[in-house]
């Protein structure tokens, strides 16, 4: 398939996944606010910190109030990662490859974007409306994947979809864990306290991991939660699962060149390291440091994919004559 | 005359002295509309509006939009569709079909002649300087032999009907005629709006257009299963939706010029698994933007070397470069003579009477009567660069007089035709609006006319400008058997 088309399909999926995860990040806080003891304050800054959005935010707003952060993350056109901007990008990418995706994919994505754009101006934005809104974003994204799943043939375009979606999701799951790092506990000793577990369960719920976690471990324990979100073999949002899905698609794309490609090598290495890592090692290494390092290496995978498949390679013109050997 | 007998939608409908395609001057409904009218009269105004809104929503959510060059924000707009169809009876259509086949056949012979022996110039039928001064005549194309001798593979000639209902050709579009995607989607929308009516009427189907187009494109290559692509200038082009739509419907790749490259004389596209050879290109880019090496060194959207590959027969282009010379508006004036010259026949569909400003007598007439005439630039499209005398201010007329005198070769003038009208749904009430018709003609193994076309409607009351960039809408066109 055309490199440009592959690139657009890949980014269409990354942006959609990004929009969904932004809605999920915010849901962490909504879950917390409703469960938290009255002595605790709402913390909105961590949402900015995990996505490295603090700097931009501070240029635009005075303080990270609930309203400011919600507007910034949802509709702000100046924030390239806001949900609206992500949907706009996803849709622009789709628009440039309409002929290569299914009618259903395009119509959903287009309608979804137009709907969200209209919502921006039509509400007074009480908390219940925000909750409804973020739920709609999540559902809209999941419906999109459902449509891909049931309409797109398992050819290259499908594999580039998968690749974009899972590379992005792996990154975002690592940031879910980071949220827990950035949300402050009153004192260090509070690790393992009720409040600590409350925060962890908010993270689990936002990642739609709560029920599956409970079935796997039953008791809430930070190390097990880390295991579940990072290393679990079967949970579709765990980092390991995301990487192994991405790897399968990458191998399907590269065909017989599988062992030679740099992208496959970088990705395979990262996946296999996780395969033989233990949750306690991650905790010992420091959650934040581990996630930070992972994000950096995951970006390298993205770059290698770009180099291998999307970059326009120049061709030397030789006017039809073969150069001397 | 008022249609007082018909309740609801048509109450108070007035013909205002125009040729109305649904009603005769005495108010009697024309036979081809009789069944439709009897059915639609049962529909309440509100219900009709609901169907109208549903149609517009469908356009927006399907993303069937066009981009407007001059507007900065909200660049995408839908072309409004009016859900009352335009109906043409079978007998009228067969005549049009013959006329269009005749016209396209002659124009193709004309183009081929211009780039080879130029017999028609030597015989003095068309003045040589008209051709040589046409900016769409490309000397680079001299001596080219496109596959099968066919230059204009896809043509869209604009037809109008005058106050007597006579069909006439208003202009020919042989470069990249657009709008066929609206023709196809309008039918899909009307299938949803009036399924019960369409089911009972014998309307010729148009849904196989993409198949016919692909067949035609494939036969331009000698290969058994050639790789066909659609070449678009990109997402910012006003017709991008159509490019994408046609590629999707044909199941071929839509490419931008940056996707293509000429390697060792072959046109290739850049794919995730390396370069792939391209055999046929349905290009929706103007001639001179195809190849900066051959035409326009300033062009950023061309593919260096592609014209050379084309000349050597390594790739086929549709339409062939150079066809634009036949849709020059001055050349248009000579088409009846062109038909006579090559085919020995009278034109079946007449031209609109045309004054060639370059000819002294005509120019004199035009300058004196500019307030009654429509003046057009020879190479403009989209309703730009024209003056509608009766609607123009004194200053505008003066400005066009000045332009005509400064560069007579670049202008033609025609009498202001009061275009026929078709009832159009304006807020739940039918009102007459002026229309034209762009049928699509494919030239492959033979010349085929698609039984339908794009009916464009001037949605503004009294307006004669049907172009989508200037407030025009469209209607589905039903051709009966």
Q: Which residues of A touch B234 (CB under 8 A)?
A: 96
**Is the confidence at residue A39, as pLDDT, over 80?**
no
Angle at B449 between CA B443 and CA B452, to 5 degrees: 145
Specify the pLDDT at position B62. 76
A253 contact B CB<8A? yes
Nearest chain A residue to B250 by CA distance is A99
Q: Do A6 and B272 touch (CB under 8 A)?
A: yes
For helices A103-122 and B45-61, give the axis angle rounded to 10 degrees.
110
Q: Do B62 and A110 touch (CB under 8 A)?
A: yes
By percentage, how much of chain A surpasses pLDDT 90?
Answer: 62
**Is the confidence at residue B2, as pLDDT, over 50?**
no
Q: Do B259 and A2 touch (CB under 8 A)?
A: yes
**Is the confidence at residue A322, as pLDDT, over 50?**
no
**Is the confidence at residue B453, as pLDDT, over 50?**
yes
Q: Do B61 and A114 touch (CB under 8 A)?
A: yes
Chain A, window 67-86: residues with a beta carbon less than 8 angstroms from a chain B beta carbon: none
Nearest chain A residue to B271 by CA distance is A2
Collapsing DSSP to helix, strand or coil, B481 comes out as coil
Specify the pLDDT at position A256. 60
Q: Terminal CA-to-CA distance of chain A, rounded, Å? A: 31
Q: How confident is the model at residue A179 (pLDDT cuts 50, 70, 90)?
A: confident
Q: Do A4 and B244 touch (CB under 8 A)?
A: no
Sign of the C-alpha dihedral, residues B274, B277, B280, B286? positive
Specify the pLDDT at position B4. 41
Lowest-confidence segment of A126-130, A200-204, A266-270 by average pLDDT: A126-130
Specify the pLDDT at position B3. 44
**Is the confidence at residue B6, as pLDDT, over 60?**
no
Nearest chain B residue to A107 by CA distance is B62
The domain spans of chain A are 3-310
Q: Do B254 and A315 touch (CB under 8 A)?
A: no
> B392-446 pLDDT, tens per residue?
899 999 999 999 999 888 899 999 888 999 999 888 889 999 999 999 999 999 9
Interface test with A, best of B58, B60, B63 (most A CBs within 10 A): B63
A189 contact B CB<8A? no
**Is the confidence at residue B31, as pLDDT, over 90?**
yes
Q: Which residues of A touch B245 (CB under 8 A)?
A: 98-99
Lowest-confidence segment of A33-42, A253-262, B317-326 by average pLDDT: A253-262
**Rounded distance between C-alpha atoms, residue B441 and residue B318, angstroms:** 13
Q: What number of CA atoms fall less than 13 Å from residue A79's CA on the CB side?
A: 27
A255 contact B CB<8A? yes
Mean pLDDT of chain B: 89
Specify the pLDDT at position B381. 61
> B58-86 pLDDT, tens per residue?
887 777 777 665 444 456 677 889 999 99
**Is the confidence at residue A225, as pLDDT, over 80?**
yes
Mean pLDDT of chain A: 88
Specify the pLDDT at position A320. 36
Q: Nearest by CB to B258, which of A92, A312, A317?
A: A312
Q: Which residues of A touch B230 (CB under 8 A)?
A: 99
Specify the pLDDT at position A198. 87
Q: Do A96 and B273 touch (CB under 8 A)?
A: no
Beta bridge partners of A32: none
What is the token pair recorded at B176? 């990249």
Specify the pLDDT at position B72. 45
By percentage, how much of chain B surpasses pLDDT 90?
Answer: 64
B92-183+206-343: CATH architecture: 3-Layer(aba) Sandwich (3.40)
Q: Nearest by CB to A1, which of B62, B230, B272?
A: B272
Residue (of B466, B425, B368, B405) closest to B171 by Cα position: B466
**Rounded distance between C-alpha atoms, residue B428 and residue B369, angstroms:** 40
Please list, in sequence order, all residues whose beta carbon lies within 8 angstroms of the beta carbon of residue A132, skipping any fewer than 6 positions away: none
Query: What is the pLDDT averaged over residues A142-168?
Result: 96
Q: Which residues of A touch B269 (CB under 8 A)?
A: 2
> A51-90 pLDDT, tens per residue?
889 999 999 999 999 999 999 999 999 999 999 999 999 9
Specify the pLDDT at position B69. 53
CA distance A244 to chain B (A): 21
Specify the pLDDT at position B73. 45
Q: Which residues of B touch A316 (CB under 8 A)?
A: none
Q: Nearest by CB to B259, which of A4, A99, A106?
A: A4
**Rounded distance between C-alpha atoms, residue B126 and residue B331, angstroms:** 8
Q: Do B259 and A320 touch (CB under 8 A)?
A: no
Specify the pLDDT at position A75. 93
Specify the pLDDT at position A40. 76
Phi, psi torsion values for A244, nearest 5 degrees: -70, -35
Between residues A36 and A117, the one the model is more confident about: A117
Please list, in sequence order, all residues whose beta carbon lies within 8 angstroms of the beta carbon of residue B451, skipping any fewer than 6 positions away: B93, B97, B204, B205, B206, B479
> B167-177 pLDDT, tens per residue?
999 999 999 89
The class level of CATH for B355-415 reads: alpha beta
Q: Do A313 and B271 touch (CB under 8 A)?
A: no
Specify the pLDDT at position A316. 47
A1 contact B CB<8A? yes
Specify the pLDDT at position A37. 77
**Rounded distance between C-alpha atoms, residue B68 and residue B74, angstroms:** 9
CA distance A100 to chain B (A): 7
CA B282 vs. chain centroid, Å, equals 16
Specify the pLDDT at position B207. 93
Residues of chain B with CATH 3.40.50.11290: 92-183+206-343
**Is the confidence at residue A260, as pLDDT, over 70?**
no
What is the token pair recorded at B416? 């202001």
CA distance B80 to chain A (A): 18
Q: Would you list which residues of chain B are within 8 Å, Cβ to Cβ, of chain A?
A: 60-63, 230, 234-235, 240, 244-245, 247-248, 252-256, 258-259, 261, 263-265, 269-273, 305
Q: How far is CA A277 from CA A231, A232, A240, A294, B371, in A?
A: 8, 11, 10, 13, 85
CA distance B83 to chain A (A): 22
Report helix, strand and coil shares of chain B as percent, to nearest 5: 35, 25, 40
Q: Which residues of A touch B63 (CB under 8 A)?
A: 95, 98, 106-107, 110
Query: What is the pLDDT averaged over residues B18-40?
Result: 93
């Amino acid at each position: 398939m055309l490199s440009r088309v592959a690139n657009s399909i890949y980014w269409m999926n990354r942006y959609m996944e990004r929009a969904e995860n932004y809605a999920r990040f915010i849901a962490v806080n909504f879950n917390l606010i409703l469960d938290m003891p009255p002595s605790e304050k709402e913390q909105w800054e961590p949402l900015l910190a995990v996505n490295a959005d603090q700097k931009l935010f501070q240029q635009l707003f005075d303080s990270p109030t609930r309203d400011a952060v919600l507007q910034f993350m949802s509709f702000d056109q100046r924030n390239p990662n806001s949900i609206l901007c992500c949907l706009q990008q996803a849709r622009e990418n789709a628009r440039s490859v309409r002929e290569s995706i299914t009618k259903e994919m395009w119509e959903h994505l287009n309608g979804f974007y137009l709907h969200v754009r209209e919502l921006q101006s039509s509400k007074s934005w009480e908390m219940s409306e925000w909750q409804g809104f973020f739920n709609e974003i999540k559902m809209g994204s999941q419906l999109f994947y459902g449509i891909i799943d049931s309409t797109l043939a398992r050819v290259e375009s499908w594999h580039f979809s998968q690749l974009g979606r899972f590379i992005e999701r792996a990154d975002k799951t690592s940031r879910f864990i980071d949220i827990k790092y950035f949300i402050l506990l009153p004192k260090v000793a509070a690790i393992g306290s009720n409040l600590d577990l409350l925060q962890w369960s908010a993270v689990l719920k936002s990642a739609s991991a709560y029920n599956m976690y409970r079935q796997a471990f039953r008791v809430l324990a930070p190390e097990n939660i880390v295991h579940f979100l990072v290393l679990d073999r079967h949970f579709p949002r765990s980092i390991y699962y995301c990487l192994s899905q991405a790897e399968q698609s990458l191998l399907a794309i590269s065909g017989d060149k599988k062992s030679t490609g740099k992208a496959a090598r970088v990705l395979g290495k990262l996946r296999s390291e996780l395969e033989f890592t233990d949750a306690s090692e991650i905790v010992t290494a420091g959650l934040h440091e581990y996630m930070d390092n992972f994000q950096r290496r995951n970006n390298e995978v993205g770059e290698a994919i770009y180099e291998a498949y999307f970059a326009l390679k120049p061709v030397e013109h030789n006017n039809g004559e073969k150069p001397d050997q | 005359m008022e249609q007082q007998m018909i309740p609801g939608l048509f109450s108070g409908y007035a013909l205002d002295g125009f040729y109305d395609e649904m009603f005769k001057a005495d108010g009697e409904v024309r036979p081809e509309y009789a069944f439709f009218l009897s059915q639609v009269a049962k529909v309440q105004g509100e219900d009709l509006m609901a169907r109208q809104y549903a149609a517009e929503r469908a356009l927006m959510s399907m993303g069937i939009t066009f981009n407007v060059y001059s507007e900065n924000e909200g660049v995408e707009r839908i072309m409004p569709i009016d859900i009352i169809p335009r109906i043409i009876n079978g007998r009228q259509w067969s005549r049009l079909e013959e006329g269009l086949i005749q016209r396209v056949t002659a124009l193709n012979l004309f183009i081929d002649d211009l780039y080879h022996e130029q017999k028609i110039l030597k015989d003095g039928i068309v003045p040589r300087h008209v051709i040589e001064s046409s900016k769409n005549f490309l000397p680079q194309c001299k001596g080219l032999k496109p596959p099968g001798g066919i230059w204009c593979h896809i043509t869209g000639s604009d037809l109008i009907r005058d106050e007597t209902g006579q069909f006439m050709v208003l202009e020919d579009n042989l470069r990249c005629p657009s709008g066929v995607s609206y023709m196809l989607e309008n039918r899909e929308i009307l299938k949803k709006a009036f399924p019960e009516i369409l089911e009972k009427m014998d309307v010729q189907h148009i849904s196989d257009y993409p198949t016919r187009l692909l067949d035609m494109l494939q036969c331009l290559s000698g290969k058994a299963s050639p790789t066909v692509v659609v070449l678009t200038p990109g997402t910012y082009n006003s017709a991008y939706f159509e490019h994408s739509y046609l590629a999707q419907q044909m199941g071929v790749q839509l490419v931008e010029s940056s996707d293509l490259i000429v390697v060792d004389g072959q046109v290739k596209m850049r794919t995730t698994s390396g370069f792939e050879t391209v055999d046929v290109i349905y290009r929706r880019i103007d001639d001179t933007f195809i190849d900066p090496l051959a035409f326009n060194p300033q062009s950023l959207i061309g593919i260096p070397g592609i014209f050379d590959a084309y000349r050597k027969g390594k790739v086929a282009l549709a339409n062939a470069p150079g066809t634009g010379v036949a849709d020059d508006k001055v050349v248009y004036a000579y088409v009846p003579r062109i038909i006579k010259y090559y085919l020995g026949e009278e034109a079946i569909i007449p031209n609109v009477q045309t004054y060639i400003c370059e000819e002294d007598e005509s120019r004199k007439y035009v300058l004196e009567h500019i307030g009654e005439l429509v003046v057009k630039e020879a190479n403009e499209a989209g309703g730009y660069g024209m003056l509608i005398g009766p609607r123009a201010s004194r200053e505008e007329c003066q400005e066009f007089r000045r332009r005509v005198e400064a560069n007579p070769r670049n202008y033609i003038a025609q009498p202001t035709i009061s275009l026929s009208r078709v009832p159009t749904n304006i807020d739940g009430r039918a009102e007459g609006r002026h229309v034209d018709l762009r049928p699509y003609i494919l030239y492959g193994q033979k010349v085929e006319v698609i039984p339908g076309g794009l009916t464009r409607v001037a949605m503004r009351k009294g307006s004669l400008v049907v172009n989508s960039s200037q407030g025009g809408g469209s209607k589905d066109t039903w051709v009966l058997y």
